[in-house]
Amino acid sequence: MATSLNGSKAAGVVARAQALFDDLSFATARAWKAAEPGRKVVGYLPIYVPREIIHAAGMLPLGIVGGGDQLEVIHGDAYYQSYICRIPRSTVELGVSGRLDFVDGMLFPSICDVIRNLSGMWKMMFPNVYVRYFDVPQNYKDDIGGNYYVNELSELTEALGELRGKPISDDELRHSISVFNENRRLVRELYAFRAERPWQMPAAEVYLVLRAGLVLPVEEHSKMIRDYLAAAEQDERPRRDNCRVVLTGVFCEQPPLNLIKSLELSGCYVVDDDLLLVTRWLTADVAIEGSPLQNLALAFLHHSEATAAKYEPNLSEKGQHLVRAVRRTGAEGVIFACPSFCDPALLERPMLQHVLKDAGIPYIAFKYAENSGQMQPIREQAGTFADSIKLWSGA
């Protein structure tokens, strides 16, 4: 493992992750595809797809989370009104500008009406690409939502088998489940480490390392996390007098990297978040024995993250995931950062805020877009929040 000039062992890993983040041409994924004839790449949008199935087909799952603040959106704006969020327009920009011309399939998960409708747009705009709206159940009973979901997974498995020209076997699925189980275990370890010693793992670094998992083969990503964990253990970084916060609302359109950095610079250690949930959507290992699709379905129904795109059948459980995250990580407050015009995040927000209020947990809220450039107001808001926690919290 290389040690960088500034002495940080993690820096080498972070630099690689940063390079992947900055690359809007997806050179690594292109190179992976070109390395062997017949390889295929399947893109997916937030919030969750079972990447195991794509992997089992021998394909590269490629996470597409918009264009960030470095992509100039020229064509994409012609497809959307001003009151629609930014992620679909920059995703269209990636598509029409040819940056995704190597992608053989695209999955549009069930997250909101905008991404849902984008699935139909993609079908119209890129007729040669395999496009699927990936629906998930909002009913969590095994024999109702579970059966439906197993059949949906089965359709996807069949379709990807057709795309590669050979059916996907159960053994291939089992192998992929085990590879992704390991990756999720490492992601959980990463989050646990940061919650314990956030000064050793700045939020922006954790984000970059996590984000690399959207473009790298999962095996390579697992190695990257391992390297980063080992480096973070060895590095000695200064501990600041920051407060500890949970960042929420950032599950689809991504905040600019500078926004994440700004939060820490203004006095808030991010000890948990809902960034890139696909990397840890399933909160426990998926069983290997038995029917792989059934196992993926059961994991979805009973061991998956709570988020705004999912219906919560139990009123008393609503928002409790956030309270638990605060308690688990020792956070002192919650920052709601929601993308402008994001229906799920913004409609959910008042309900979550009521739950936090009842639990006596302080919070602040602001909006952003993936290309927000002006961080000063956010710094001031987050800084004031951090000060208020330090000065006036019940502790």
- Cα dihedral: 340, 343, 346, 347 (round 10): 160
Nearest to other proteins of 119, 266 (CB atom): 119
Query: Could you tell me which of 274, 48, 299 has the C-alpha nearest to residue 178?
Result: 299
Rounded to the nearest whole angstrom, what is the least distance from the CB of residue 161 to other proteins in the complex?
17
Rounded to the nearest whole angstrom, what is the least distance from the CB of residue 354 to other proteins in the complex?
7
CB 376 within 8 A of CB 261: no
Rounded to the nearest whole angstrom, what is the least distance from the CB of residue 153 to other proteins in the complex?
11
Residue ranges in contact with other proteins by CB under 8 A:
78-81, 83-84, 88, 108, 110-114, 116-121, 123-125, 132-133, 135, 137-139, 141, 143-145, 147-148, 151-152, 155, 308-309, 311-313, 315, 318, 338, 340-344, 346-351, 353-354, 367
DSSP characters over 299-325: HHHHSB---TTS--S-GGGTTHHHHHH
Query: Could you tell me which of 345, 341, 305 has the C-alpha nearest to residue 321?
Result: 305
- The 10 Å CB-count burial string (b at 16+, else e) for 261-300 is bbbbbbbbbbbbbbbbbbbbbbeebbbeeeebbbbbbbbb
**Nearest-angstrom CA–CA distance, 25 and 45:** 17
DSSP state of 79: G
Query: Could you tell me which of 22, 75, 87 has the C-alpha nearest to residue 338?
Result: 87
Rounded to the nearest whole angstrom, what is the least distance from the CB of residue 391 to other proteins in the complex?
25
Nearest to other proteins of 88, 256 (CB atom): 88
244 to each of 83, 240, 378, how far by Cα in Å?
A: 33, 11, 16
Rounded to the nearest whole angstrom, what is the least distance from the CB of residue 73 to other proteins in the complex?
14
Rounded to the nearest whole angstrom, what is the least distance from the CB of residue 337 to other proteins in the complex?
13
Rounded to the nearest whole angstrom, what is the least distance from the CB of residue 94 to other proteins in the complex?
16
Nearest to other proteins of 122, 269 (CB atom): 122
Question: Which residues are within 8 A (CB) of 209 and not within 5 positions of it... i.e. 6 or more apart?
Answer: 13, 14, 17, 190, 224, 225, 228
**Nearest-angstrom CA–CA distance, 366 and 282:** 28
Rounded to the nearest whole angstrom, what is the least distance from the CB of residue 223 to other proteins in the complex?
36
